[in-house]
Chains A and B, each alone.
Chain A
Amino acid sequence: MAIGTLTGSRIRERRTLLGLKQAGLAKAVGISAAYLNLIEHNKRRIAGKLLTDIARALQVEPSVLAEGAEATLVTNLRYAAAALPDIGAEEARAEEFAGRFPGWATLVAAQRRRIGHLERTVEQLTDRMAHDPHLAASLHELLSTVTAINATASILVEPGEIEPEWRDRFHRNIHEDSQRLADSSQALVSYLEATGEETRSTGTPQEELEAWLEARDYHIRAMERELPVDADMLVRDAPELTTAAGRELATAWLNRYRRDAEALPLAAFQKTAEDLQWDPGALVEHFGTGMAGILRRLATLPTPRGAGRIGLVTCDGSGALTFRKPVDGFPLPRFGAACPLWPLYQALGRPLAPVRAVVEMTGRDRRRFLAYAVAEPVGQPGFDAPPVFEAVMLIVPGDRVRIPEERGLAVGTSCRICPQRRCAARREPSILAEAG
């Protein structure tokens, strides 16, 4: 049976393992026990918010329920193998390894994640040491002050008489400089402590923001009200936002969310989106607003119960992913660059021209999605600066829209773990042995 069709069985297995009654779990996620029973016997498909809610109640990642722990584990093992290709791990036997030695396989995957976090920490610290203008200026200030104290004190301790006027001046200078040294040392220590806060975080600021949004299913009710809550207040006490950089990203994201919500108020937009079958082109025509705002708004609507979630990615002009709302069956890379064939990048190459494409994710279950993308300028263009573009791509799963029968564009997650060997866009070899 294909991955995804056994989600119910996995929910049942996990619930039993935790010693939860069916009625108890059903109540916790706000559905009837009878409906949960149908889900657990794989008689109802489950995805979206309900899957997220059940996963949270069962204390697992939604992907573990949707794809099985093994599929997630095998993907993580492939990332581990891709990180050290010279080792020659038997990538083709990753599934067999995960199946026969789940404990060891989990350990390998966990070590890879840990190494990833440590590598990022080292990178951040190295960057800071080498390029941080604040640190360079602080150290320069310290050395200059020490030099002044050292040169002045040397004069005072040398044998021979110094005129009283000069001696007094040097004493005063040493006193001033020692005060300055104390202040700048303290400032430096505070700065380094703040650096520690940034690097203690387990992920990047972007990952913090995504974890925070994931816990709210990317829909922020407080921002939909007529008088919204201040974005700063919302992020201040969020447990997932542990660093200043994470909170800053979240504030910027919320402010944009608010602007989109004001342009496209929730009730009207939701109803029209349903009427127009989530068609961004028709919605642009109806509301007379920009395409990128429509795509973002579609991705932040509440997911109807039992329906598949709509995903969203954005990238800047360099192609770096700046935001990821994942969707089942369309894995988004955590590190490094994504698949250059994504419609996102086609849109980036043709600013302002919307792109629509049926895409098919390479891999075992080859799920199909309808993708809409567009690149629009950020801010107001000026005469003396290059235009800055941001591309956005909406990823709609097959249970939300009718996907045209046409042949889909085969896309991957990133080259290293993509089996599509004959690909003009490939930038580095795949580690997948069965590539064909």
Chain B
Amino acid sequence: MGKRVLLIEDEPNIIQAISFILSRDGWAVDTHADGRTAMDEIARRAPDLVILDVMLPNRSGFDILADLRADPAMQALPVLMLTARGQTRDREMAERMGASRFMTKPFANAEVLEAVRELVAT
């Protein structure tokens, strides 16, 4: 069985597209759409990588990232942040808070795939 990716995103059609391209590449993809319960889901699924949207219902992706980095068991988990707010300020904040990679929407499918491969290989 391939490595596991947990996609935390609330746009159903983005979820379908990313799930498709990753599954086709051999990844096992789980999805989750709510910010408030995202930490529980990460703990339950124990993925090899998390793709995390910033603007989620009920809780921001930045807050989830902060919790992940504060938890010794999750500190090393690769996190690819996705956001529609491509401002420098957001990028800097993501880097400061320990995001492994930061991509702005709209992104190219190939870039997402490449980033996932690189982050899990390292």
Of B43-51, B94-102, B105-113, the one with at least 4 CB within 8 A of chain A: B105-113
Tell me if A's interface is mostly helix, strand, loop or mixed: helix
Of B11-19, B26-34, B58-66, B67-75, the one with at least 4 CB within 8 A of chain A: B11-19
With both beta carbons as reference points, the residue of chain B lying nearest to A151 in the complex is identified as: B17
A141-181, CB < 8 A from B? 143-144, 146-152, 154-155, 158, 166, 169-170, 173, 176-177
In the complex, the answer to whether B13 meets A155 with C-beta atoms within 8 Å is no
Q: List chain A residues, Cβ under 8 A from B17.
A: 148, 151-152, 154-155, 170, 173
In the complex, the answer to whether B108 meets A177 with C-beta atoms within 8 Å is no
With A147-B11, A147-B14, A169-B16 in contact, do A155 and B109 touch (Cβ < 8 Å)?
A: yes
Distance, CA A158 to CA B24, complexed state (A):
13
Q: List chain B residues, Cβ under 8 A from A148.
A: 11, 13-14, 17
How many residues from A make CB contacts under 8 Å with B? 20
With A140-B84, A143-B84, A155-B20 in contact, do A177 and B106 touch (Cβ < 8 Å)?
A: no
With A147-B106, A154-B109 in contact, do A140 and B20 touch (Cβ < 8 Å)?
A: no
B55 touches A (CB below 8 Å): yes
Q: List chain A residues, Cβ under 8 A from B14.
A: 144, 147-148, 151
Number of A-B residue pairs with CB-CB distance less than 8 Å in the complex they form? 55
Distance, CA A152 to CA B14, complexed state (A):
8
Distance, CA A158 to CA B105, complexed state (A):
20
A60 touches B (CB below 8 Å): no
In the complex, the answer to whether A147 meets B16 with C-beta atoms within 8 Å is no
With both beta carbons as reference points, the residue of chain A lying nearest to B20 in the complex is identified as: A155
Distance, CA A418 to CA B16, complexed state (A):
67
With A152-B16, A155-B20, A177-B13 in contact, do A147 and B84 touch (Cβ < 8 Å)?
A: yes
Distance, CA A295 to CA B28, complexed state (A):
73
Given contacts A152-B13, A152-B17, A173-B17, 12 further A-B contacts (CB under 8 A): A140-B84, A147-B11, A148-B17, A150-B106, A151-B13, A151-B21, A151-B107, A151-B109, A154-B108, A166-B20, A173-B13, A176-B13
| CB-defined A-B contacts under 8 Å, sample of 13 | A140-B84, A140-B85, A143-B105, A146-B106, A147-B14, A147-B105, A151-B107, A151-B109, A152-B17, A155-B20, A155-B109, A170-B16, A170-B17
Query: What residues make up the interface of B, taking CB atoms closer than 8 Å to A?
Result: 11, 13-14, 16-18, 20-21, 55, 84-85, 105-109
